[in-house]
Amino acid sequence: MAVVREFTLPDLGEGLTEAVIVQWLVEVGEVVAVDQPVVEVETAKAMVEVPCPYGGVVTARFGAAGTEVPVGTPLVTVAVGAAPEDSAGRGSAPGSANGSASVAVPANPAPGAEGAGTDAAGSGNVLVGYGTSGAAARRRRILPSSAEAPARRSATPAPPATTNGTATNGTATNGTATGDAAGTAVADGPRTVAVISPLVRRIAREHDLDLREVRGSGRDGLILRTDVESAVRALGERQSAAARTAGTADAAGPVPGAERIPLKGLRGAAAEKFSRSRREIPDATCWVDADATDLLATRRAMNVPGAPKVSLLALLARICTAALARYPELNATVDTAAQEIVRLPAVHLGFAAQTDRGLVVPVVRDAQGRTVEQLSAEIARLTDAARAGKLSPAELSRGTFTLNNYGVFGVDGSTPILNHPEAAMLGVGRIAAKPWVHDGELAVREVVQLSFTFDHRVCDGGIAGGFLRYVADCVEQPALLLRSL
């Protein structure tokens, strides 16, 4: 007998909580093997093919292409141990997702229920937060007992009346109500207001507050001054929220012909990271112009026929690692919870790359131990993977310093946003021919503007200025790098 198993979107790691379905790789009624990819999804980090830990016949798919699904949402159901013809009729049952049947699935299948099919050996892929064993039992919320309810009840507006017009805080039967406070409701009539103090009535009257909607915390439901003041505050907060919502709706209301682009996936993750960086990091930026003529000449000398090509970005990356070795204060992050600066031992160098999917920052691991040739090869590999949308989450995270070559867009300078939680970023503008004083004479030289943005919590201006000056010196005199080889 076939056992139907439900496969949900697993935790893909790196704190990702949702993904967007790009395309389905299987059809309903198709036989799948253990660990066969069944769907391609796009996360905030990369495109990922998700393997199914069950082998059998696909009986249902959930979600169309473009649908955003949270972690734990069902993706497919698989009949383990079933032949294709056994589930053919189920693939077109009404009320199914994507035209496939919704099959009831046991919440806690018995161990070994898969039988002796291909699923018996278990999945070879260990998905984070997802196993091939039985599903965990659902947690149930435990409601407070009637003895605890009065203690937990806060002085907030009461819910609307139910059942024959009576307010129920307990169980209503035949038009009569029983609740926490005696005398708080009358059958088929308005709720009795338990108020003694004239001051309470005056405060309610001044703020247009209906005392029948206030739950008293005093004995037998008596409305106290603290109750009405709390209700007034709650009313004011609701009115303020409504005003803000109305203002936002007016400012960003429907505009004829306007296009709305959802901030989700890679773009949404980038937007959140930019916003968080601006909120948390007190950044500052300094600039300097440098003569890059000798750097370009050095690159041409390296790129001799038959040798691996060295990119200009790789040379700049090597300069960054040398500068960070001299100024390790900048290869750091700030632990806001512990109020500590954390200096990191390895340089994981990120570089900004523009793709069709948006801006991504691939990371070169342990850049401080790589030669210029090795840096060039790794940057080229990561760039190709980024353009193809094949970067893994690990290749897009845990950087410690970023190199931003915005000069490829033909601009001279920029004040970039730091890649949270990193503490520094070097920006490189375009290299253009400009008049420059060289050896005491005016000449046309290849000039670049360098900008350095840093977290002012990790260092002062002296450290930042020293770092940028050293980088500029290496750009103008590449031979200085020989000292740190």
Residues catalogued as catalytic = 456
Check residue 436 and report its DSSP letter. E
In whole angstroms, what is the distance from residue 38 CA to residue 297 CA?
Answer: 51
SS3 157: strand
Backbone phi, psi, residue 407, to 5°: -65, -20
Quick one: tokens of 437?
């004083």
477 touches 439 (CB < 8 A): no
17 within 8 A of 8, measured Cβ to Cβ: no
Cα 240 to Cα 429: distance, rounded to the nearest angstrom: 46
Helix (H) or strand (E) run with residue 284 in it: strand 283-291
What CA–CA distances, in Å, run from 208 to 82, 232, 251? 67, 9, 29
CA distances from 41 to 32, 46, 243, 286, 393 (A): 18, 8, 39, 41, 13
* CA 403/CA 190 separation, integer angstroms: 69
Cα separation, 72 vs 70, whole angstroms: 6
Cβ atoms < 10 Å from Cβ of 247:
10
The DSSP call for residue 127 is B
Alpha carbon distance 263, 141 (integer Å): 33
Specify the length of the chain in residues.
Answer: 485
Q: Please check whether residue 215 is in contact with residue 153, taking contact to mean a CB–CB distance below 8 angstroms.
A: yes
Neighbours of 38 (CB within 10 A): 20
The two structure tokens encoding residue 121 = 């050996």
Alpha-carbon gap, residue 176 to 184, rounded angstroms: 11
CB of 7 within 8 A of CB of 76? yes
Do the Cβ atoms of 455 and 423 come closer than 8 Å? yes
Burial of 223 from C-beta contacts in 10 A (0-12 / 13-18 / 19+): buried
Q: What is the DSSP letter of 87?
A: G
Rounded CA separation 209/232 (Å): 7
DSSP track, 401-425: EEEE-GGGGT-S---PPP-TT-SEE
Q: What values do phi and psi take at 2, rounded to 5?
A: -70, 145
